[in-house]
Amino acid sequence: MNREKEAQHHYQPLEQLNKVQKSPAGNDLAVTIGSHHKQAHGFSTITYDGICDQIKKPLNLTHFKKNEIGKLISAKANCPWFMATDCPSRAKQSVAEHNEFKLLIVDLDTGDWVVGDLVNALKYDHDISSFAIYSTISSVQNTPRWRVIVPLLYAVDLPLWTALQESLAKSLGGDLCAINCNQIAYLPALSELNSCSYQYHIETGALIDGQKSKLVDSFETIENTLAPKKQAQEHNFTKSLSTGQISPIDQLEASTSWDNFLLYFGFKKVGKRWLHPDSQSGSPGVTISYRDDRNGRYLSAHESDPLNDGYSHSKFDVYCHFEHNGDTNIALKALGDKMLVSGGATINQHNKKLFNQANQPVPIASVSTLVDATNSNKKSVSEKIQEILDSDHIRGCVNITQYAPDNLIFKFSASLAKSAQFPQQTAALIALASFSSAANGSYAVQYRDGSSLSLGLYAVSEQPPGSSKSRVLNTTTRAIRSKFAELRKLAIDSVSCDADLSNDDESKQKPRVTIPYLTDTTPEALEQKLAHQGGYFGIASAEQASIDTLLGTNLDRKNNNDVILKAYTGNEQHVSCRVGRNGYSGSPYGSVNVIAQEGTIESILAKSNGQGIAERFLMISEPNMLGHRQYTEYTMVDPELSTDFDNLASNLVMAHHKLKPESIDDLNTLCINVLGWELIDKYRARIEPRLADGEKYSHSILRGAFSKADIQIMKISALLHLSGPRKDKAVISDVEVEQAIGVVNELLNNLYNIMEAKGIIGLKAEYTAILACFDKNRFRTERQLIESRKKVKPFVSMTKKNDAIRMAIKEMLQGGLLTQTIDDKSTIQLSMAQ
């Protein structure tokens, strides 16, 4: 039967649907019903006959429109639902304990079935005489989706119901979410998608006996096929007992596949991804990654998922979240009490027995000895600890050029890097910062309110001596230096000529001469230059001394960094306290481009001291190429790219000379289009939750850096615009903004990696602090570790100290750096791995 598009139906009140249909076995066929999917209590019931009435007269939800990705989020949110049981709760544990199921419910979403074939399959392949079929809310004419409901003669328990559900779902190619005992199914409804193609079929006949149906035979066939595998798993489990205590976490990992595990908790598989049971978007956001762990790790991008925290998770993490609200101690004990070993004892009973039989623990070396041990022939735990704690390499690769590979700056820097045998991404950041120093003198980008932002970048890169740092920096700044030198000479010659002709003392005033780059200057010396250059400056150097002098990183006293802080945006007022004409009062604007030896970044991070210096810098520290360079054949920098880059930079310098700006307000302005601002807003919204207390970017430096992401995006989008094919236009496109977002996101996440590798945040700092707690005691409880470590770095600066310490302990257990045992009082004791 087809529904006409104009058909209008109104949903009947729940109480009108509660007609009782008695089956021969006394099963009243009444099941739980809710009014919307967020309802948590106060449920009613509906009979199978009531559901059939609704199938004939579905609720009209056509006024709820699809969202931007074609999903019926609002319609589903307002659609009543039912379950296969009359349990008064939706909680999985409550439904399982209720243990009474009256319906089989299967969804067919593949689009392969027509209603006639489906009827024949149920009647003749499975001997099912009583059932109902209807189009689901997401069904469309070309890809029909169906819901099948089969009433049972007798209410059945959970194991039998699960077997029947799985057998029916697999035989019809249905969704295996059907085996979740608390799975909800939406009542029939007309939607924007199915209103023209809604169909149903209701077959009335004898109800099936779950114990005697063909579905049981099918399920037993499947079970017999899997039995040898299950026996092998049990055999392996029994053999593992000879090694001593058993980890419930390890056994959980080995006991089930990720597919079965996630299906149990209500996830839905869509292609290679999984849809979280609480997701409202309808888009699958969970993946299982085997990159770093052969057992697989859970990665979530669902905003509604608490496990979307920037980390990967094990099965135990997921189990702990769904079953025990994230309490690891309770979850661990519950697993140990449920999982059995050979002989019928639980894991906890087995472990407790071994603990009581164990001898006194043999003293082990102190943490410092353990961490310093490096002479073992085989890779010991101490070496593993040392690899994690002492490694200064930056995890992950930075790739900023991938977002705008055809941009002149990145093409030129790639050619230069190849010629100099220099890390490509470092060369790209240096070239971008060099270009910003030229653009900063003639252009600004506007905020939404019309105020101006300078284009100068603050960038710092690290490479060791002998790596061609100076060559790369000089090549990217030579045209700028040359053009400023040429203009300076012309200005001086012009003043000299005028003075000779007029002999006027006033004409003998020194001309305004802009010095493009300072290499080693104090804040006080910088002020003197600003007074003669309208607030404009540039700093470019291949030596760490430039940063040390400018920021005072080599001084014990507090440095005066006001000019550097204010010049980052160019729209903040600096008022000099210096007496005489050497002081500067105004709005400085400038750029900093330093490529120096290793340790420069660490100096900046250490000296930030809450002043906001570090978060203004874009930082990169790639592995060097020393020892791998080839000298048998020389590669030249592409002459065409080199000429184009130099000419463009020279033109920007010339524009600055013509403008002779006294402040940023005198510069040419660029603006960002509406779509570009929307992209910036979306990016900021995405990172905002990670800035909260205890979250991934909650460290003060990271908070400052990510909070300034919009400023960095504005600057870099303008630079990409000025070096792109649309440079003559005054409006920055959303494409250029999107490219800039990619570059900024790459560099800001690299800052996180740098801080983690330097031991300022993350695993290295956290692991070291926790391991130090075992210096004098072999065993510690989690509570003892929390109370001790929350008073020391890095945890002392965190808001959610306890949660951070628990997370670190869990990761150390998973990584084999810590072990856990259960003592004779059933207390979980932690110790360093031996």
Banded pLDDT at 53 (limits 50, 70, 90): very high
Q: What is the pLDDT of residue 322?
A: 86
Q: Is the pLDDT of residue 236 over 60?
A: no
Give the distance, in angstroms, between the CA of residue 221 and the centroid of all CA atoms in the same chain: 43
In terms of pLDDT, which residue wins out, 358 or 325?
325
Most confident of 101-105, 214-218, 512-516, 570-574: 101-105
Is 444:668 a contact under the CB 8 Å cutoff?
yes
The DSSP string of 356-422 is: HHSPPPPP---HHHHHH----SS--HHHHHHHHHH--SPSS---SGGGSTTSHHHHHHHHHHHHHT-
pLDDT attached to residue 440: 92
pLDDT, one tens digit per residue, over 251-276 is 888 878 888 888 888 888 887 788 88
Pick the CATH number of 367-392+759-832 from 1.10.10.10, 3.20.20.150, 1.10.3980.10, 2.20.25.570: 1.10.10.10
Question: pLDDT digits over 430-462, tens only?
Answer: 999 999 999 999 999 999 888 999 999 999 999
| Residue range 372-397, pLDDT digits in tens | 433 344 444 444 444 544 444 444 46
Query: Per-residue pLDDT for 667 more than 70?
Result: yes
- Decide: 534 and 440 in contact? Cβ < 8 Å: no
Per residue in 709-719, pLDDT (tens digit) is 999 999 999 99
> Is 507's pLDDT higher than 60?
no
pLDDT at residue 770 in the model: 84
Query: Are 698 and 760 within 8 A, CB to CB?
Result: no
Q: Which position has the higher pLDDT, 758 or 98?
A: 98
CA 577/CA 524 separation, integer angstroms: 10
What average pLDDT does the segment 475-493 reach?
86
Give the DSSP letter string of 256-287.
S-HHHHHHHTT-EEETTEEE-TT-SS-S--EE
DSSP element (H, E) containing 322: helix 315-324
CA-to-CA distance for 767 and 388, rounded, in angstroms?
9
Q: What is the pLDDT of residue 231?
A: 40
DSSP letter, residue 798: -
Q: How far apart are CA 458 and CA 65, in angstroms?
A: 47
Average predicted confidence (pLDDT) for the chain: 78
Binned at pLDDT 50, 70 and 90, residue 721 comes out as: very high
pLDDT digits (tens, 9 = 90+) for 196-235: 889 999 999 889 888 777 776 655 544 443 344 334 333 3
d(CA 604, CA 755): 11
Is the pLDDT at 357 greater than 70? The verdict is: no
User: Which residue would you say has higher pLDDT here, 368 or 770?
Assistant: 770
Which pLDDT band, with edges at 50, 70 and 90, does 737 fall under? very high
**Per-residue model confidence (pLDDT) at position 432:** 98
pLDDT of residue 183: 87
Identify which has the larger pLDDT, 45 or 27. Answer: 45
Residue 237's pLDDT is 32
The crossing angle, in degrees rounded to 10, of helices 424-439 and 709-722 is 80
| AA identity, residue 228 | P
> Residue 355: its pLDDT value, please?
64
286-310: pLDDT as tens digits:
888 876 567 788 888 877 788 887 6
pLDDT score, position 112: 73
Q: Is the pLDDT of residue 646 over 90?
A: yes
- pLDDT at residue 577 in the model: 55
Of 83 and 117, which is predicted with more confidence? Answer: 83
Range with lowest mean pLDDT among 22-26, 146-150, 421-425, 790-794: 22-26
The reported pLDDT for the residue numbered 741 is 93
* Sheet order of strands, 273-275 included: 268-270, 273-275, 286-289, 297-300
User: Can you give the residue ranges of every domain in the chain?
Assistant: 14-217, 244-357, 367-392+759-832, 401-440+447-660
Q: CA 250, CA 256: separation in Å to the nearest integer? A: 11
pLDDT at 277 over 80: yes
Question: How many residues are listed for the chain in this entry?
Answer: 834
- pTM, 2 dp: 0.52
Pairing between β-strand 458-462 and β-strand 589-596 as defined by DSSP bridges: parallel
Check pLDDT > 60 for residue 323: yes
pLDDT tens readout for residues 581-604: 566 778 899 999 999 888 788 878
pLDDT at 379: 44
Res 699 pLDDT > 90: no
